[in-house]
Amino acid sequence: MRSAAGTRVIAVVGMLILALLAGHTAAAQDYPSRLIRIIVPFPPGGNPDLAARLVAHRMSVDFGQPVVIDNRPGANGGIGTSMAAKAEADGYTLLVANLGVLGINPGVYEKLAYDPGRDFVPISRVAMSPLVLITSVSTPLDSVAALIAAARSEPGRISYSSSGVGSAAHMAAALLDQMAGTEMLHVPYKGAPEATAAVAGNIVSAVFGGQGPAWALVAAGQTRPLALSGPTRSPRHPATATVAEAGVPGYAIVDWVGILAPGGTPDAIVTTLNAEVARALADPETREKFALQDLDPAPTTRAEFASFIAAEQAKWAEVARRSNIRIAP
CB 157 within 8 A of CB 185: yes
Pairing between β-strand 185-188 and β-strand 223-228 as defined by DSSP bridges:
unpaired
Pairing between β-strand 132-136 and β-strand 206-209 as defined by DSSP bridges:
antiparallel
- Per-residue model confidence (pLDDT) at position 198: 96
- Per-residue model confidence (pLDDT) at position 329: 74
User: In angstroms, rounded to a whole number, what is the distance separating the alpha carbons of residues 113 and 78?
Assistant: 7
Q: What is the pLDDT of residues 42-96, one digit of tens each?
A: 999 889 999 999 999 999 999 999 999 999 998 889 999 999 999 999 999 999 9
Query: Domains along the chain?
Result: 34-129+254-323 (3.40.190.150), 132-228 (3.40.190.10)
- Per-residue model confidence (pLDDT) at position 29: 76
- Per-residue model confidence (pLDDT) at position 272: 98
CB 46 within 8 A of CB 129: no
- Per-residue model confidence (pLDDT) at position 75: 86
- Per-residue model confidence (pLDDT) at position 91: 97
Q: What is the pLDDT of residues 258-299, one digit of tens each?
A: 999 999 999 999 999 999 999 999 999 999 999 999 999 999
CB 211 within 8 A of CB 131: yes
- Per-residue model confidence (pLDDT) at position 191: 87
Nearest CA-CA partner of 237 in 283, 296, 175, 286: 296
The CA-to-CA distance between both ends of the chain, in Å, stands at 55
Give the residue ranges of the chain where pLDDT is below 70: 1-28
User: In angstroms, rounded to a whole number, what is the distance separating the alpha carbons of residues 180 and 65?
Assistant: 50
Burial class (CB in 10 A: 0-12, 13-18, 19+), 234: middle
Nearest CA-CA partner of 208 in 173, 174, 233, 243: 173
- Per-residue model confidence (pLDDT) at position 76: 85
User: In angstroms, rounded to a whole number, what is the distance separating the alpha carbons of residues 144 and 301?
Assistant: 36
Sign of CA dihedral 41, 42, 47, 52: positive
- Per-residue model confidence (pLDDT) at position 7: 53
